[in-house]
């Protein structure tokens, strides 16, 4: 209830109303103004930014557009599929699985080192909160709010821990 009420605040077991609207309902209202394509682009931008941290992989491919974007070399590579290609473990024909198969196919030339690719796709169940998160973060940033700690007038409602939406985006 506190997340949806515009003027209701919570601090542990304390509840109070204020004349200033709370951030979450305000951000959700303004987030509705963003187009789905803009949100997808924001997710792709963040994936490209995060792909610079490659860990143990020789290369990280973030949301490749064509199968030729993923080079065929004998080195372990991570392929993060576009947010348009989600995966559901309960079905054999998920869009993510089809996108991975297309990248592995690579047209008439084929792919020699397909077993060196590791694919990462968004979970279909988590996709709707993931798509709403960049909208919320963009809106909060435009309003001048720090998206990790929250404005001072919220009190102790938010902690230094990232929200569920922020964790989902970071895990992508």
Side-chain half-sphere exposure of 165, counting CA atoms within 13 A = 16
Partners of residue 123 on adjacent β-strands: 87
The model scores a pTM over 0.85: no
Q: In this predicted model, what pLDDT tens digit does every residue of 114-131 receive, in sequence order?
A: 999 999 998 887 765 545
Residue 48 banded pLDDT, cuts 50, 70, 90: very high
Average pLDDT over residues 145-154: 40
Segment 56-85, tens digit of pLDDT:
999 999 999 888 899 999 999 999 999 889
Contact 11, 155 (CB under 8 A): yes
CA distances from 58 to 46, 75, 78, 108, 128 (A): 20, 6, 8, 25, 31
Please state the length of the chain: 172
**Those residues with Cβ within 8 angstroms of residue 146's Cβ, 6 or more apart along the chain or in another chain:** none
- Say what the pLDDT of residue 135 is: 54
* Tokens at 28, concatenated: 């959700």
Identify the three-state secondary structure at position 14. strand
- For all residues of the chain together, what is the average pLDDT? 75
């Amino acid at each position: 209830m506190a997340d949806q009420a515009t003027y209701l605040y919570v601090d542990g077991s304390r509840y109070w109303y204020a004349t200033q609207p709370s951030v979450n309902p305000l951000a959700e209202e303004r987030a509705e103004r963003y187009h789905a394509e803009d949100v997808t682009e924001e997710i792709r931008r963040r994936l490209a930014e995060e792909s610079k941290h490659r860990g143990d992989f020789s290369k990280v491919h973030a949301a490749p557009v064509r199968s030729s974007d993923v080079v065929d070399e004998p080195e372990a590579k991570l392929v993060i599929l576009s947010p348009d290609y989600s995966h559901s473990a309960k079905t054999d024909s998920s869009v993510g699985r089809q996108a991975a198969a297309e990248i592995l196919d690579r047209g008439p030339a084929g792919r020699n080192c397909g077993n060196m690719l590791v694919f990462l796709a968004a979970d279909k169940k988590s996709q709707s909160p993931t798509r709403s998160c960049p909208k919320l973060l963009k809106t909060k940033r435009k309003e001048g709010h720090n998206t990790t700690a929250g404005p001072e007038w919220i009190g102790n409602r938010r902690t230094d821990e990232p929200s569920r939406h922020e964790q989902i985006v970071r895990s992508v």
